[in-house]
Protein backbone atom coordinates (compact mmCIF):
# COMPACT_ATOMS: atom_id res chain seq x y z
CA UNK A 1 0.00 0.00 0.00
CA UNK A 2 1.80 3.17 -1.16
CA UNK A 3 1.44 6.47 0.60
CA UNK A 4 1.18 9.83 -1.15
CA UNK A 5 4.77 10.55 -0.11
CA UNK A 6 5.97 7.23 -1.60
CA UNK A 7 4.08 7.89 -4.83
CA UNK A 8 5.62 11.36 -5.16
CA UNK A 9 9.09 9.90 -4.56
CA UNK A 10 8.46 7.25 -7.20
CA UNK A 11 7.31 9.93 -9.66
CA UNK A 12 10.39 12.07 -8.91
CA UNK A 13 12.63 9.08 -9.58
CA UNK A 14 10.88 7.72 -12.67
CA UNK A 15 9.90 11.00 -14.39
CA UNK A 16 10.94 14.61 -14.76
CA UNK A 17 8.32 16.62 -12.90
CA UNK A 18 7.19 19.89 -14.41
CA UNK A 19 5.87 21.17 -11.07
CA UNK A 20 6.03 19.62 -7.60
CA UNK A 21 3.81 20.83 -4.75
CA UNK A 22 2.73 19.28 -1.46
CA UNK A 23 -0.61 17.88 -2.69
CA UNK A 24 0.02 17.69 -6.45
CA UNK A 25 2.64 17.44 -9.17
CA UNK A 26 2.62 17.61 -12.93
CA UNK A 27 4.46 15.97 -15.80
CA UNK A 28 4.82 17.38 -19.28
CA UNK A 29 4.64 14.80 -22.06
CA UNK A 30 6.22 15.71 -25.40
CA UNK A 31 5.20 13.93 -28.57
CA UNK A 32 7.03 13.39 -31.88
CA UNK A 33 4.43 15.63 -33.54
CA UNK A 34 5.84 18.60 -31.59
CA UNK A 35 2.76 18.77 -29.37
CA UNK A 36 2.90 18.49 -25.60
CA UNK A 37 0.43 17.60 -22.87
CA UNK A 38 0.55 18.23 -19.14
CA UNK A 39 -0.88 15.69 -16.69
CA UNK A 40 -1.51 16.84 -13.13
CA UNK A 41 -1.55 14.20 -10.39
CA UNK A 42 -3.19 15.31 -7.16
CA UNK A 43 -3.90 13.74 -3.78
CA UNK A 44 -7.18 13.96 -1.91
CA UNK A 45 -9.21 12.06 0.66
CA UNK A 46 -12.72 10.70 0.25
CA UNK A 47 -14.66 7.87 1.89
CA UNK A 48 -11.97 7.70 4.59
CA UNK A 49 -9.35 6.75 1.99
CA UNK A 50 -6.50 8.40 0.10
CA UNK A 51 -7.08 8.87 -3.63
CA UNK A 52 -5.21 10.34 -6.55
CA UNK A 53 -6.59 12.10 -9.57
CA UNK A 54 -4.90 12.29 -12.96
CA UNK A 55 -6.12 15.34 -14.89
CA UNK A 56 -5.23 16.83 -18.26
CA UNK A 57 -6.60 19.87 -20.10
CA UNK A 58 -8.54 19.25 -23.32
CA UNK A 59 -10.28 22.46 -24.43
CA UNK A 60 -12.46 25.40 -23.44
CA UNK A 61 -16.14 24.68 -22.79
CA UNK A 62 -17.16 26.62 -25.89
CA UNK A 63 -14.95 24.44 -28.09
CA UNK A 64 -16.88 21.20 -27.43
CA UNK A 65 -20.61 20.76 -27.04
CA UNK A 66 -21.88 18.78 -24.04
CA UNK A 67 -23.38 16.22 -26.44
CA UNK A 68 -20.00 15.63 -28.10
CA UNK A 69 -18.32 15.35 -24.68
CA UNK A 70 -20.83 12.75 -23.51
CA UNK A 71 -20.43 10.75 -26.72
CA UNK A 72 -16.63 10.90 -26.33
CA UNK A 73 -16.99 9.63 -22.74
CA UNK A 74 -18.73 6.52 -24.05
CA UNK A 75 -15.71 5.78 -26.26
CA UNK A 76 -12.94 6.36 -23.70
CA UNK A 77 -11.08 3.33 -22.39
CA UNK A 78 -9.73 5.24 -19.40
CA UNK A 79 -10.90 8.43 -17.74
CA UNK A 80 -13.81 10.73 -18.41
CA UNK A 81 -14.33 14.25 -19.67
CA UNK A 82 -15.45 16.77 -17.06
CA UNK A 83 -15.83 20.54 -16.78
CA UNK A 84 -13.55 22.18 -14.22
CA UNK A 85 -14.23 25.34 -12.21
CA UNK A 86 -12.62 27.47 -14.95
CA UNK A 87 -15.01 26.21 -17.63
CA UNK A 88 -12.44 23.95 -19.28
CA UNK A 89 -12.94 20.37 -20.36
CA UNK A 90 -10.42 18.10 -18.69
CA UNK A 91 -9.79 14.40 -18.99
CA UNK A 92 -9.80 12.91 -15.49
CA UNK A 93 -9.11 9.50 -13.96
CA UNK A 94 -9.26 8.69 -10.24
CA UNK A 95 -7.70 5.77 -8.39
CA UNK A 96 -7.55 4.58 -4.80
CA UNK A 97 -4.01 5.04 -3.52
CA UNK A 98 -4.15 1.94 -1.28
CA UNK A 99 -4.23 -0.49 -4.20
CA UNK A 100 -2.08 1.44 -6.66
CA UNK A 101 0.98 -0.31 -8.05
CA UNK A 102 3.61 1.15 -10.44
CA UNK A 103 1.78 -0.08 -13.58
CA UNK A 104 -1.51 1.38 -12.36
CA UNK A 105 0.31 4.68 -12.01
CA UNK A 106 2.25 4.64 -15.29
CA UNK A 107 -0.60 3.51 -17.55
CA UNK A 108 -3.03 6.36 -16.71
CA UNK A 109 -0.22 8.88 -17.14
CA UNK A 110 0.51 7.69 -20.68
CA UNK A 111 -3.08 7.05 -21.71
CA UNK A 112 -4.44 10.34 -20.38
CA UNK A 113 -1.62 12.34 -21.97
CA UNK A 114 -2.18 10.76 -25.39
CA UNK A 115 -5.98 10.80 -25.21
CA UNK A 116 -6.21 14.37 -23.92
CA UNK A 117 -3.76 15.55 -26.58
CA UNK A 118 -5.75 13.82 -29.33
CA UNK A 119 -8.98 15.41 -28.07
CA UNK A 120 -7.28 18.78 -27.71
CA UNK A 121 -5.95 18.61 -31.28
CA UNK A 122 -9.50 17.90 -32.53
CA UNK A 123 -11.34 20.53 -30.49
CA UNK A 124 -9.05 23.26 -29.19
CA UNK A 125 -7.85 26.29 -31.05
CA UNK A 126 -4.24 25.66 -29.95
CA UNK A 127 -1.90 23.30 -28.06
CA UNK A 128 -2.14 24.60 -24.48
CA UNK A 129 -0.83 21.45 -22.77
**Average pLDDT over the chain, rounded to an integer:** 92
- Residue 97: pLDDT above 90? yes
Interstrand relation of 36-46 and 17-20 (parallel, antiparallel or unpaired): unpaired
Q: Which has more confidence, 125 or 88?
A: 88
The conformation of residue 68, written as its DSSP 8-state character, comes to: H
Secondary structure class of 128 (helix, strand, coil): coil
What's the rounded Cα separation, in Å, for the pair 70 and 25? 28
Q: Residue 89 half-sphere exposure, CB side, CA atoms within 13 Å? A: 26
- Does residue 111 fall inside a structural domain? yes
101 pLDDT band (50/70/90 cuts)?
A: confident
Residue 73 contacts residue 65 (beta carbons within 8 Å):
no
- Does residue 129 fall inside a structural domain? no
Domains held by the chain: number: 1
**Which of 29-33, 112-116, 124-128 is modeled with the greatest confidence?**
112-116
pLDDT in tens, 39-69: 999 999 999 999 999 999 999 999 999 999 9
What's the rounded Cα separation, in Å, for the pair 69 and 128? 19
Its domain, for residue 10, covers 4-123
pLDDT at 45: 96
pLDDT at 129: 53
pLDDT at 115: 95
pLDDT at 1: 57
Q: Say which CATH number the domain at 86 has.
A: 3.30.1460.10
- Does residue 128 fall inside a structural domain? no
pLDDT at 127: 59
Amino acid sequence: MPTWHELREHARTAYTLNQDEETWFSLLWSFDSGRSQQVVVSHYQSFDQDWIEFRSYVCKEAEMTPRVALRKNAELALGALALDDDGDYVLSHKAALASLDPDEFALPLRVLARTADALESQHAARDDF
